[in-house]
Amino acid sequence: MYVDVHSHLTHDDFAADLPDVIARAEKSGLTAIVVNGLEPASNQRILELAAQYPVIKPALGIYPIDAVNDIVDNLPFPIRKFHVPDAIAGIRREVAAGRAFAIGECGLDGYWVGEETFAAQEKVFEELIGIALEFDKPLIIHTRKREERAMQILAAHGVKRVDFHCYGGKSKLALRAAEQHGWYFSIPANARNNESFRKLLKELPQDLVLTETDCPYLAPVRGERNEPANVVGTVKLMAELRNWSEDQAREQIWTNYKRLFQVGSDPDGEAKA
């Protein structure tokens, strides 16, 4: 059983052939694809997809740049305008109703936006952390250039159930955070071409490694569209780096997934709670 804990199957790139993409993932052995929301429209779409496809597990969130949509302009990509407090209330409602599998993505970004947005980003991040703690859900974290600050905030709130997605900060900091806090790190499908991801895949405590794609982004072959089936290559790479069999690597990651997301041993991965 393979898992992709971070994907964006709501992206336009999948509009034409989503059923084929999901079928390929299932044929490759994936039994869980966590699809992450960015703003109200994708959160809503994810809930619809989860109702339609049992393999899809809905994570609801607000991307740190969307979190400040009312104060940023002139980004190199389009951004939807929406009312952030309403979006947070909407997420809380869905989580309270038992429809969310996880909270994400959420976090802090200092790559695309500047310091003038940091306080507002942190406010949204902390509200989402609050929902995760209130309903005991795991958090899927985006952080770019703000890794240390994101870790400080998570530690201050005593958050245990955390996955850092596509972590691009210093490896030493990640290894220390894993040891100290038991936080997980999901490694993308392009790890073979990235020294830092290879290092994490090899050196993180084996209990804290997960696989993800961030698809359609970060394909193993640059420029191609990524998709959940590509997590199989990351499991193979982990096995190579640790001198394990592929079975051992796959089982380790599946066990880690079940532990963090508290899913039962039944293959459709329904939440116990």
Least separation in angstroms between CB 34 and Zn ion: 11
Residue among 239 and 260 whose Cβ is closer to Zn ion: 260
Least separation in angstroms between CB 131 and Zn ion: 19
- Which string of DSSP letters, residue by residue, matches the chain? -EEEEEE-TTSGGGTTTHHHHHHHHHHTTEEEEEEEP-SHHHHHHHHHHHHH-TTEEEEE---TTGGGTTT----SS------HHHHHHHHHHHHHTT--SEEEEEEEE-SSS-GGGHHHHHHHHHHHHHHHHHHT--EEEEEES-HHHHHHHHHHTT--SEEEES--S-HHHHHHHHHHH--EEEEPTTGGG-HHHHHHHHHS-GGGEEE---TTSS-SSTTSPP-GGGHHHHHHHHHHHHT--HHHHHHHHHHHHHHHHTB-SSTT--B--
Residue among 202 and 225 whose Cβ is closer to Zn ion: 225
For Zn ion, the nearest residue by Cβ is 214
Residue among 15 and 97 whose Cβ is closer to Zn ion: 15
Q: Is 33 left (phi over 0), alpha (psi -120 to 50) or beta?
A: beta
Residue among 63 and 254 whose Cβ is closer to Zn ion: 63
Least separation in angstroms between CB 13 and Zn ion: 13
Least separation in angstroms between CB 215 and Zn ion: 9
Least separation in angstroms between CB 7 and Zn ion: 8
User: For Zn ion, how many residues bind (rule: CB under 5 A)?
Assistant: 1
Least separation in angstroms between CB 246 and Zn ion: 26
Least separation in angstroms between CB 232 and Zn ion: 20
Q: How many angstroms separate the CA atoms of 63 and 131, rounded? A: 15
Site string for Zn ion, 60-89 (x = CB under 5 A): ------------------------------
Residue among 100 and 249 whose Cβ is closer to Zn ion: 100
Residue among 36 and 171 whose Cβ is closer to Zn ion: 36
Show contacts with Zn ion in window 194-223 (CB under 5 A): 214
Residue among 66 and 214 whose Cβ is closer to Zn ion: 214
- Which string of DSSP letters, residue by residue, matches 200-236? HHHHS-GGGEEE---TTSS-SSTTSPP-GGGHHHHHH
The residues that touch Zn ion, with contacts defined as CB under 5 A, are 214
